[in-house]
Amino acid sequence: MLYFSKIKLFIIYIVIITLSFFSLTNFVNKSENSFLSKKVNLGLDLQGGSYLLLEVDSSPLINQNLQTKLLKLRSELKDKNINYKNIKLNNESINFSINPEHIKIFEEFFVSEDNLINIYYNKYRSYEMDYLIENNKVTITYSKYGLIEVMNSTLNQSLEIVRRRIDEVGTKDPTIIKRGSDRILIELPGLEDPSRIKKLLGKTANLSFRFASDTEDAFGSELLSFEDSEEQLNISKRVIASGENLINAKPQIDNQTNQAVVSFTFDRVGSKKFARATTDGVGKRIAIILDNKIISAPSVLEPILGGAGQITGNFTFQSATDLALLLRSGALPAPLTIIEERTVGPDLGEDSIKAGSLSLLIGFILVIFFMLYKYRFLGIIADLALIINLVLLLGALTLLEATLTLPGIAGIILTVGMAVDANVLIFERIKEELKVEKSTIHAFDTGYKKAQSAVLDANITTLISAIILFALGSGPVKGFAVTLGIGILTTLFSAYFFARHLSSIYAMKNKEKQIIIQ
């Protein structure tokens, strides 16, 4: 147990040297985007910043999906010669009356597994839509599992687009995670004023290009207002191209007007649609619409065949940059509402760091003096192992680029106590063996062997608790679980490799002497 081969010693000390090096990178400025620039990130409660909790409203998407279902259903009912009337969308449901003689045909069609209108979920063993027939009136709504699928899909898509928008702004080390079935939690360390982020997240960014229409056309029309004025235009509901057809958007300064504009480029499909529409619509006004507000409505002077164009308006360069960002990141599938907002100032975060560091320092010093008083020279070994343990823990957190929070500091403080506990168990067992063993080397060897099961049991049970906390917890709880879990592993390494190696050297040099542990 006390014997160390050269290979084992090489591995032990190369691990210590490597993780010690990464620990030091936290205190040295390195170039960005380098492997050596890894650091432990400070969480919102330590660094200060903004906390936003967003709620996803899936109701508009449900109605939009039902509108699509209604069009398909109307077509299918006609194809199957099922007589119906008064089909309409109302209160997140499709309602219509049906001929009593055709009810059975409708039911057979609506619950078939190959029905494109009512999808069958194999994993739920259920259908996307439910229906109810009373007095020959049919009501079709989303089933429980259909709503779950819509909400999950909406939340996942919203999360990805929110992440794109925040990353485009350049916010450092943001935390963006799902919270429940319809919420997104955003933590932005170091960001004291989240007004720009809130503005970006508050826009759905549904972009469309549609012609202004003086007369009613086959697609219908609606009155829309300009974004920066009360002026209104009658706009055709026919969409020439949408934001889905964009492949790039960027802010620019127009050389002729010296005004900020947003240049955009369509994909192949969008380019063809836009070219065809502008060829047929020379002389007409084409409205550029974002979230049902007209940004601008220039006249088409000639066909636009290159698949590229500009969005003009009363933009500052900042607003043009934000609009380009929104268009590049894509439209949100559903509106987002900020239901909770908090801002933590850097002074409060600094106070938390000082309080946490002071607690760790006091605990560390008290433990060191206790071990020196209790175990003399072996106490020095335990204290060196404790220092190495903290260095290894910091190095491991640095390699993972973990985010350190106040609960994370609590996890480190707890690690100090557990690290000492392992050495206390080992030294107490060695003390008992020295009373009955004549050989110092044999007493040390037996002490380490007999203490091993107790040390492992204590640390493994705590590690299991840390894993459960990480799996089921969120935010600060996960931070505590990460530092505690890594701390347990570094504790076992420092106690059973580093401290044991130093103890073996001490035992070998004093094998002829009588060692007494108080």
Q: Is the pLDDT of residue 32 over 60?
A: no
User: What pLDDT, on a 0 to 100 scale, did the predictor assign at position 375?
Assistant: 81
Look at residue 217 in the predicted model and tell me its pLDDT.
Answer: 61
Beta bridge partners of 289: 208, 294
**Model confidence at 513, in pLDDT bands (50, 70, 90)?**
low
Query: Dihedrals φ, ψ of 494, to 5°?
Result: -70, -35
Q: How confident is the model at residue 181, as a pLDDT? A: 84
Task: Give the tens place of pLDDT for each residue, 289-322.
Answer: 888 888 888 888 888 888 888 888 788 888 888 8
Which of 142, 141, 140, 136 lies closest to 84 in space, CA to CA? 136
Per-residue pLDDT at 229: 78
The structure tokens listed for 115 are 């029905």
411 burial level (CB within 10 Å; 0-12, 13-18, 19+):
buried
CA 40 to CA 42: how far, in whole Å?
7
Q: What is the pLDDT of residues 329-384, one digit of tens each?
A: 888 888 888 898 887 766 666 777 777 778 878 888 888 888 888 887 888 888 89
pLDDT tops 80 at residue 451: yes
For 376-401, b where at least 16 C-beta lie within 10 A, e where not — what string? eebbebbbebbebbbbbbbbbbbbee
pLDDT digits (tens, 9 = 90+) for 459-482: 899 899 999 988 887 667 888 888
Q: Going by DSSP bridges, is the β-strand pair 403-404/41-42 parallel, antiparallel, or unpaired?
A: parallel
Residue, of 109 and 190, whose pLDDT is higher: 109
Is residue 287 over pLDDT 60? yes
Which tens digit of pLDDT belongs to each residue from 381-403?
888 988 899 899 999 988 888 87
Kindly report, residue by residue over 420-444, the tens digit of the pLDDT. Answer: 888 888 888 888 887 777 777 888 8
Flag whether pLDDT at 3 surpasses 80.
no
Distance between CA 154 and CA 150 in Å, rounded?
6
pLDDT, residue 354, reads 79
The DSSP 8-state label assigned to residue 275 in this structure reads H
Q: What confidence score (pLDDT) does residue 515 get?
A: 63
- Across the range 197-207, mean pLDDT stands at 83
pLDDT at 14 over 90: yes
Mark residue 238 as left, alpha or beta (left: phi above 0; alpha: psi -120 to 50; beta: remaining). beta
| Distance separating alpha carbons of residues 237 and 240, to the nearest angstrom | 9
- CA atoms of 487 and 498, how far apart (whole Å): 15
For a pLDDT cut of 90, what percent of the chain falls above it?
A: 9
Structure tokens at 261: 């504009």
Whether the predicted pLDDT of 404 surpasses 70: yes
Tens of pLDDT, residue by residue over 261-275, are 888 888 888 899 889
